[in-house]
Amino acid sequence: MIEYYDDCYQKSQLKNDHLALSADIQQLAISGQEGKLTTGFCFQFALLASRNFLNLLRLPQTSYVKLITTVLTACFAILLFFQVPKTPEGVQDIQGALFFITMNISFNAIQNVILIFPDERPVFLREVNNNMYSVSPYFWAKIISELPFSLATPAIFGSIVYYAIGLNDTSIDYFLIFLLILILCYNASSGYSLIISASFSDKQLAVTLTPVLIIPFMLFAGFFVSTDNIPFFLKEFEYISIFKYGYNALLLN
């Protein structure tokens, strides 16, 4: 019975060869080696950057929350350190204010990355493994697309607290250098948190381990413990502390 139906199908007009191509279908000419990307860096970068910009524009509430958080923490700093007197007693308050500013800017940057990038990590890995784009254009597109926020956040915070606290107002150059230091601290902390986020596949694990990987570097900034009193076997960690460079730069300024 099965042979009969098979024979009827082979002789009928309904027979279809699944290996045969329709005359209306044209094969694509694939250039380059199989499995290799054929688009250039600039094309990938432009496409990924525009996608990141669109993602930021589609979630304006995230930007509003960042702005509100920045303003509120700046106001809190003003309440604590408003118009610090230019006296020997006020030196300690100035040091505390500068360390608070360094710590706030760094943790603000870390929080903005550590809570967002782990969610993007699976998508990035899937697309890269499928040869949709390479790693370098994705990295630079992400950095450039978020650059306006990386510049605006520390600049807004610094502009609010600088003159309210009563820092050096003899020349505007000190204020501009102050903003530049905050921007560098913010971006350095963002880079460090990207390393943490990329190292762990579990978002909860990355968030949990962040204080363990961040707070010890605060001890090497020179605010809690003098750098001369740091044990010799921990001296190397002093030179990779973002808090140390940011805090000392603000003190020198």
What residues of the chain score a pLDDT lower than 70?
17-38
Q: What is the pLDDT of residue 158?
A: 93
Q: How many CB atoms lie within 10 A of CB 3?
A: 7
Contacts with 148 (C-beta within 8 Å, 6 or more apart), sequence order: none
Phi–psi pair at 40, nearest 5 degrees: -85, 175
The answer to whether residue 80 is domain-embedded is no
Q: Which structural domain, as residue segments, surrounds residue 134? A: 88-253
The answer to whether residue 40 is domain-embedded is no
How many domains does the chain divide into? Answer: 1
The answer to whether residue 168 is domain-embedded is yes
Per-residue pLDDT reduced to its tens digit, 149-182: 889 999 999 999 999 998 888 889 999 999 999 9
The answer to whether residue 109 is domain-embedded is yes
The answer to whether residue 42 is domain-embedded is no
The answer to whether residue 193 is domain-embedded is yes
Phi–psi pair at 30, nearest 5 degrees: -90, 120
Q: What is the pLDDT of residue 28?
A: 61
Q: What is the pLDDT of residue 123?
A: 85
CB 242 within 8 A of CB 189: yes
CB 212 within 8 A of CB 67: no
The answer to whether residue 207 is domain-embedded is yes
The answer to whether residue 23 is domain-embedded is no
The model's pTM is 0.78
3-state secondary structure at position 236: helix
